[in-house]
Structure 1
Amino acid sequence: MTQESFRSWGRDDLDELDLSLIHALQVAPRVPWTELGPVLGADPVTLARRWRRLVASGSAWTTCYPGPGRGSFDPGCLALVEVDAERGRVGEVARRLAEDAHAIAVEHLTGGRDLLVTVGAPDPATLTRYLQHRLSAAPGVTASRTHLVTRLYQEGSSWRLRSLDPGQRRSLVTAGDDAPRPRRVTDAERELVLALGLDARVPVADLARVLGVSAATAARRLAWLVSSGHARLRCEVAHSLSGWPVCATLWVSVPPGELEAVGGALAAHGDVRLCAAVTGTANLCVVTWLRSVGDVPVWEADLVRRFPGVAVLDRAVTLEVAKRMGRLLTSDGRAAGYVPLDIWADPVAVPESHALQGPSLGLGDEGLDE
């Protein structure tokens, strides 16, 4: 992909109301349209119609997935895996791995690897089973290098567009309950996470009907999963329409005594999508969304200027994303299908293909229509 093609990516398909709507759902993915209307100064029916159009075109979507670091992806159960593929088979390998439930994200990167695959599992044994018997055995894979995530400082659910003013953002943030006592999720709660994966705005009544429970039970389980961190709700936008179309990944060496401070500081940076402590020569991986390819060295220079003890050991730019948090994407980052992130399944027994094609068109809690 040329630098000119990077520059051609823009936000022409989205107007200001679209961007504000997406930003609002990033802050509060399940907010009712009737509550969101006054915040955005728009009719709730208009917002519902707008959202239908965005989802139908693959420009934006909501999802729910197992929460990293809170019992679903314990330390040592989340990994970043660099994959090398046979010449001419990178696309084929990417598509094959994207069908796996344990492959959370699959990206084609520049530099010293063909693909970067984010892998999740409920325990180290399942992770090892997937890496040894599924990923490494995939046709076309020639080598892989695994970096275990030891601490997750930031992940994509916290990344935001910059379309709402501070007052609008504050009006969408509700006081959460105190984090409940940690425990493992039950099978019924896992089913709820998976049921919301295709569309996190499914109304509670519909969710209850699918799960065969009462609406009160479904609402209570969902509230616990979110407040405990076992489930994450996310509103995503196609990267080509976001205004930050370039994704850069940096592998960074940080003095061990400074890792917490540096990781915490980078997690608060508006450009950072992922910041994770990892095993390997580089002990920190940072993923940023930037305006242009030319911003990559500028961002790197600012990083080492801000933290003098830090050394960037490698950097790469994403050429194409085959999958992000279960969503199968087109070459310009639009949603084209979904693979449920059933990380609890046996990775070797995963069916050959279980992708769900096409976006959900759920309207949210009120069921508003044109």
Structure 2
Amino acid sequence: MLDEVDHGLIHALHIDGRAPFSRIAAVLDVSTQTVARRYRRLRDAAGLRVVGLADPAHAAHAQWLVRLTAGPQAAQDLARALARRADTSWVKLASGGTEIVAVVHAATSHALLLHDIPRTAAVTAVSAHHLLHMYLGGPTAWRGRTSTLSPAQRERLEPAFTGPGQALADSDGALLKALQRDGRASLGDLAAATGWAPATVARRLADLRAGGAVFFDVEVDDTLLGVTTQALLWMSVEPAHLDRVASTLAEHHELAFVAATTGPTNLVAQALCPDPASLHRYLTRRLGALETIRSLETAPVMQTVKAVGPAARLPPPGRGPAPGTPRSAR
């Protein structure tokens, strides 16, 4: 398990993924060497990684949540294939390992959804749900990772930008790709990846962050935060009450993701809980109290094959989950 310094470091990186270790150390009241050492340990033991991403609200492409069902071995193979793609994230095996859920990022919805997904006998069902609005997730991190620092500490870590900010352009592709590999890459490394001068990289990155076009997410093994049970919740809500229900769910500590979608269910969420009993209490007491939720499907998450970044954490075939994947349910 993690101690207070580890929790503080993870929280700090969610506030500013590129904050210097010296500034984080000052806020946590420890040495810079301690922060650097803890970062390396969490990177090696817990899969800690800072990833720079385009804010979906500012991106030019649509996001689709794709559900596929297949036999257990076929599902694992297909999950690996999807995880290797540059246009996917959040690839998960659910429902006993026979269902794959993935987020697909595409300028058009047709390439992967209509042509690239294998149409084999092993795939028994495919459905695609357009993500219409994200209430929780993306730039807004799960509260289980961001409840350590005080308001005063958070304020000291908030990045300060000048100017109105700018939107992403086609010329930012190389910069965004480099940040997806490593959100804490040095200006020199980013300059080498883009062909720009380091000062140009610094200005452009500041402009994109100021405008909200780019944000930084953190990958880490949530079992070390006490999570052993994860589930995707597919809900059908009366349209007139959808915004109110989704906004209410976005305040629930148990949820890390809430979004409105198209399809037979119009609201999806991801629950992170300490154990099955906690998930049961959440479903029956908190969700059960919302009468406008007409139906609920709970799909336990068995393994995360790929998280927010483009680098898939793929376990070798037949060797179980990848390093950093929660052991009991992810």
Q: With structure 2 as the length reference, what TM-score do the two structures score?
A: 0.86
Of residues 166-175 and 208-217 in structure 1, the stretch that sits farther from structure 2 once superposed is 166-175
Gap change, CA 1:215 and 1:139, over 3 Å in 2: farther
Residue 297 (structure 1) shift: 2.2
Tell me the equivalent position of 2:328. none
Tell me the equivalent position of 1:131. 113
The aligned amino acid for 1:97 is L
The aligned amino acid for 2:150 is D
1:53 alignment partner, one of 41, 54, 57 = 41
Structure 1: unaligned runs, 5 residues or longer: 1-10, 337-370
2:20 alignment partner, one of 16, 19, 32 = 32
Q: Is 2:85 the counterpart of 1:103? A: no
Residue 180 (structure 1) shift: 4.2
1:190 alignment partner, one of 156, 173, 177 = 173
Gap change, CA 1:335 and 1:217, over 3 Å in 2: farther
Tell me the equivalent position of 2:133. 151
SS at match of 2:149: coil
In 2, the alpha carbon distance for the partners of 1:278 and 1:93 equals 23
- What are the equivalent positions in structure 2 for 1:350-365 lying under 5 Å apart? none
In 2, the alpha carbon distance for the partners of 1:244 and 1:167 equals 27
- What are the equivalent positions in structure 2 for 1:1-370 lying under 5 Å apart? 11=1, 14-73=2-61, 77-110=62-95, 114-121=99-106, 123-124=107-108, 127-137=109-119, 140-157=122-139, 158-160=141-143, 161=145, 162-174=147-159, 180=165, 183=167, 185-325=168-308, 326-329=310-313, 334-335=323-324
In 1, the alpha carbon distance for the partners of 2:232 and 2:78 equals 21
The root-mean-square deviation of aligned C-alpha atoms, in Å, is 2.5
Q: Deviations over 1:306-341 (max 9, x none)?
A: 4221234211110111111134235566459xxxxx
In 2, the alpha carbon distance for the partners of 1:93 and 1:139 equals 13
Of residues 268-277 and 106-115 in structure 1, the stretch that sits farther from structure 2 once superposed is 106-115
Q: Aligned residue pairs: how many?
A: 316
Identity %: 29
In 2, the alpha carbon distance for the partners of 1:54 and 1:138 equals 40
Residue 270 (structure 1) shift: 2.8
Q: With structure 1 as the length reference, what TM-score do the two structures score?
A: 0.78
Tell whether the 8 Å contact from 1:147 to 1:279 is kept in structure 2 after alignment.
yes
Tell whether the 8 Å contact from 2:55 to 2:213 is kept in structure 1 after alignment.
yes
Gap change, CA 1:302 and 1:83, over 3 Å in 2: same
